[in-house]
Amino acid sequence: MPYGPSQQRVIAVLSDGKPRSHKTVVKESGLGYRAIEAVLKRLWELGFILRTERPIKEHQEIFRGRAGLKRNLRSYHLYALRPKGTDLLILDGHRFLSFKKRPKRKLPEKSKARLVFDFLRENKDSAFYSKEIVEALKDKGVKPYDLMPNVRRFESKGLVYVRGYRSDARETPFKDGYLLTWIDSEKPRDKAIGEAVERTSKVLENNPYETSIIARIHMIRDQILTATKTNDIVSVDFVKNKVGGSEAEVERALTRALQLFPELKQIKLFDAYRYLYHTSMSEAALRAAITLKEKYIRKAKGRANRIGHNWEAGVEWFIDEFTTGAHFWTQKHRTGEMDPRRITVHLMKNVGKRRNNAEVDRIWDVTPGVFAKPLTYVLECKWGIIRREDLDDFLNVLRWSKEFGVDTTEGRQIKQGVIGVFGGSAFNPNENVQFRDGGKVSLASYAARMNIQLLRAADFNSKLREKGCSKKITVQQICRVAKNEDEVRHILDTIWQDVKKSEGILCALSNKNKELYEFEQMLENV
């Protein structure tokens, strides 16, 4: 018999043979909840009572006054007095069993934490992705969810270096998980950490295309190193075109490259144009490269360049407006900044400074009649005074181009049906062309003899006068005021629809683009 009074009171409650729950025994015995819990467990272990094989689950509703009716799922066991000579009792469909000690679980020789710990320590000269470690230890029972919690504990103790893709506020894994490597505590701390970082960097270099951003970062670094070897600095726009991807993706990769490789530096020229270089470049070479780039920016980004491109758009607009059936050629360029109507032709022979290729401003086809062969017009534009060498250079480009030139018994000539058009803001009226036989003709007559049509700004201004524009509105003024080629087209379209608004449009654009004019003035004065 039980020897304690509490145990005897519980036996007395169960002596009628009816099974009772823990809650019912507490109510009938008058003992506390925790006391009954300990007594029932003790009596079951000693073999005086039996317990249901599985807990009983039932839904119950409890009224909580103003809180309303609460519903929950109650789980409990039933207890019954053990009959002599049996360890099994079936009552009301429930199986009651006696207590049996569970066999002790055989623990593995090494815990999963120890397996991970030993793997990193034994391979301390290498770095591994987390997926690789799981794959190596899966035969020993290590699961993916076992790895990182243990690794984070080792990291907090300074034993393991964990590397992922770092942003400003957080770190995320690479494609194959985090990079992990051992930190040798027997070495000086700075040296051990430096070696750990070097090991992970080596893995990333051997797998540059694991993630798109890693690939872009290394491409950016390669472009900068290549430029540095030639004592040059590289523009951010060039890097973006070379690397590829959206604007946001390339900017993100560029920011990360500057963070990961402190030897890569960025400078701004004229506080507007970004360039990149490597610190291995000498100061003298850097100053020389900056001087060359500033000269290029003054030429390529200055006022003359802008007006020159605007003049091309202006000539194109008048040709498109007054040429019936004109079909312009288009070409996809590597950079989105170049107008698709600007065409690159292939040269059979170098012309001037042009090697292999040359650019012409516009090309369009016109079919005069149903049975007539189409005529191809090739346009070259120049802002400023046009001289004979300009016409000869254009003529040679047409002759030696693969698309428009042809070999004849008289030498290289322009194909039949191809007509050159030269658009100039002004032609030198005092320049004459003298031939070997002593003959002398004007520049305009020389162009006509070479089958080149000349388009002057005065020709376009006369069209504006016919439309009703005042003498204050000229094509030259439109090219000077407009920010880019699109604005030139927009101005001419608007003027053509409503001539009365022309002066107001130019005045508004002049105020709008004031900062651009000031910047161009700054480039000229620096």
Assess if CATH 1.10.10 describes domain 112-206.
yes
Q: Whole-angstrom Cα distance, residue 317 to residue 1?
A: 114
Residues of the chain with CATH 1.10.10.10: 5-97
Residues of the chain with CATH 3.40.1350.10: 303-525
Beta bridge pairs of residue 72:
60
The residue assigned the tokens 């439109």 is 478
Q: What angle do CA 159, 163, 164 make, to 5 degrees?
A: 150
Q: What angle do CA 64, 69, 73 make, to 5 degrees?
A: 105
Q: How many CB atoms sit inside 10 A of residue 373's CB?
A: 10
Q: Whole-angstrom Cα distance, residue 417 to residue 365?
A: 10
Mean pLDDT of the chain: 83
| Pairwise pLDDT comparison (104 vs 376), residue with the higher score | 376
Residue 142: pLDDT above 50? yes
The DSSP call for residue 21 is E
Mean pLDDT throughout 206-229?
A: 76
Report residue 369 as tokens.
Answer: 């009649």
As its CATH architecture, domain 303-525 has 3-Layer(aba) Sandwich (3.40)
Residue 214: per-residue pLDDT: 72
Q: Lowest-pLDDT range, 76-85, 257-266, 395-404, 440-449?
A: 440-449
Beta strands in 282-398 (DSSP E): 327-328, 343-346, 357-360, 362-366, 375-386
Fold of 212-299: Arc Repressor Mutant, subunit A (1.10.10)
Residue 209: per-residue pLDDT: 47
* Residues 69-122: tens digit of each pLDDT: 778 888 889 999 888 888 888 888 889 888 887 666 665 567 888 999 999 999
Dihedral, CA of residue 407, residue 410, residue 415 and residue 416, to nearest 10: -140
Q: Whole-angstrom Cα distance, residue 135 to residue 120?
A: 14
As its CATH architecture, domain 5-97 has Orthogonal Bundle (1.10)
Mean pLDDT throughout 190-201?
A: 89
* Residues 143-166: tens digit of each pLDDT: 988 899 999 999 999 999 998 876
| Pairwise pLDDT comparison (68 vs 189), residue with the higher score | 189
**pLDDT-derived band of residue 350, with 50, 70 and 90 as boundaries?**
confident
- Sign (positive or negative) of CA dihedral 184, 190, 193, 198: negative
Mean pLDDT throughout 286-296?
A: 83
Q: How far is CA 376 from the centre of its chain?
A: 42
Residue 183, CB half-sphere, CA atoms under 13 Å: how many? 21
Report residue 82 as tokens.
Answer: 């053990």
